[in-house]
Amino acid sequence: MPDRPTARAAIAAVTTGFEEITEPAVPGRGTAGDGPLSWAGYADSRARATARTGEEESVVHGLATIGGLRCVLLSFEFGFLGGSLGQRTGDRLEAAYAAARTRGLPLVSLIATGGSRMQEGMVALTQLQRVARASARLRASGPAQLAVVRDPTTGGGWATLGAGADVILALPGAQIGFAGSRVRPAGADPHAYTAEGQLAAGQIDAVVPPDELPKTLAHWLRALHVSGSPAPDAAPVPDALSAAGLPVTGWDAVRQARSPSRPHAEAYLNAYFDHRLPLSGDRCGGTDPGLLCGFGRRGGRTIAYVAQCGTATRPAGYRTAARVIRLADRLGVPVLTLIDTPGAANGAEAERAGAGAAIADAFAAMAGARVPVTTLVIGEGGSGGALALAAPGNTHVTRDSYFSVIAPELAAAILKRAPDEVHATADQLRLRPQDLVELGFARSVVQPLPPGG
């Protein structure tokens, strides 16, 4: 077996203080004999596990300090029967979630488990329902759930504590998957069951080297440990980064927005935030490199962001955006969206991936947000694929942007106009920044950042 850190070593590696919570034993919780199934030798196995690890169960939990911030932390001891979940494990996990809920603190889980404990049969398997219920109660009360996926994390532990967390970080090379190594289909791609494979598939948010984990967790706790009430103030509107003048014609607006030299989302985010924490993936097997999502810190304040990067937004991008917006709404964090797309991806692959449903979900997340959402159009605003992420009543535009019901070229084609009528069609669409303000769609044309500002 690989040399894996113990539960307490994993705790010590990321905390500056830890106070274990010891819960009184619940009568009948598998403490006597060979457990609920009378599995021969189970009591001896538990005794050997305790002698080897010094632990009475596969989970340790308590109050922790990470980067000066308080949280409830739980850590799995893989050396205790493979970090498996039994009834007493369920007691401890439920207690950890309850402690986070009653104290209003984030929950951080350091996970390393092989899944449900066979020696307890269905009694062990139903602990997953207990964990799911405890997680749902904590989510309803507000505090964030962060998971650090260690090696290995498989079975029900991954499908509840891991994959069910708001933010999922993983250590490099960690084995992650619902199926453990001994029960996978023959010939299954091993990369799919690694941290790196799960990141590529949109199932986790980041792979973090061990030496960077304490700082990363501290950043996340600082960003997510907020009031839980709707944010009273909207995110400030970013300054424009381009000194482009207002376009004279509709086609001038399109040309300026499509210019490769104008500032794109990365530049705006770098200028706006002091520090950013990216979130990645739609949790449905997809990612969109043309959409940047996450939480950022600006002058000591947390703001969530969703930023299009000038490409056609994929279904996975809309689902990721909806996930971030709903998390921000639950935590009481204002949202900033940057619009820049020629439109939603509309190829056959996008249709098979559920483009319509994904866009609908993004519209729904925006419409349901209780926190204020601020939108800045920084480039192309292509039809519903852009509108899905635009804030009704709080959208602003830069001088090198446009927004249109459809691209001028496509509008001309639909109207069966000649190619030389595209420019005139752009004028008719009234898509210039100043048109958008006059029409009431945009609140303002944002001015460029002052020199040296």
Whole-number pLDDT of residue 28: 63
Tens digit of pLDDT for each residue in 75-131? 999 999 999 999 999 999 999 999 999 999 999 999 999 999 999 999 999 999 999
Residue 227, pLDDT score: 66
Mean pLDDT (whole number) for 388-395 = 97
Burial of 184 (0-12, 13-18, 19+ CB in 10 A): middle
Res 25 pLDDT > 90: no
Q: How confident is the model at residue 228 (pLDDT cuts 50, 70, 90)?
A: low
Q: Which amino acid is at 113?
A: T
pLDDT at 311: 97
* Percent above pLDDT 90 for the chain: 88
Question: 62, 21 in Cβ contact below 8 A?
Answer: yes
183-187, 327-331, 381-385: least confident range: 183-187
Mean pLDDT of 387-412: 95
- Which amino acid, one-letter code, is at 410? L
Average pLDDT of the chain?
93
Residue 27 binned pLDDT confidence (cut-offs 50, 70, 90): low
273, 298 in Cβ contact below 8 A? yes
pLDDT of res. 371: 96
Rounded CA gap, 150 and 147, in Å?
9
433 contacts 397 by C-beta, under 8 angstroms: yes
CA-nearest of 106, 197, 194, 195 to 144 is 106
Between 207 and 180, the more confident residue is: 207
pLDDT at 325 over 90: yes
Integer Cα distance of 439 and 437 in angstroms? 5
Is pLDDT at 30 greater than 90 in this prediction? no
pTM here is: 0.94
List, for residues 55-68, the tens digit of each pLDDT value: 999 999 999 999 99
Asked if residue 256 has pLDDT above 60, the reply is yes
The predicted pLDDT at position 275 comes to: 95
Taking residues 376-393, what's their average pLDDT? 96
Q: What does the pLDDT look like over 262-321, one tens digit per residue?
A: 999 999 999 999 999 999 999 999 999 999 999 999 999 999 999 999 999 999 999 999
pLDDT of 24 strictly over 80: no
Instruction: Check residue 106 and report its DSSP letter.
Output: -
Using the 8-state DSSP alphabet, how is residue 344 labeled?
B
pLDDT at 324 exceeding the cut of 70: yes
Q: What is the largest CA-CA distance in the chain?
A: 86
* pLDDT tier at 188, thresholds 50, 70, 90: confident
- What pLDDT does 1 receive? 45
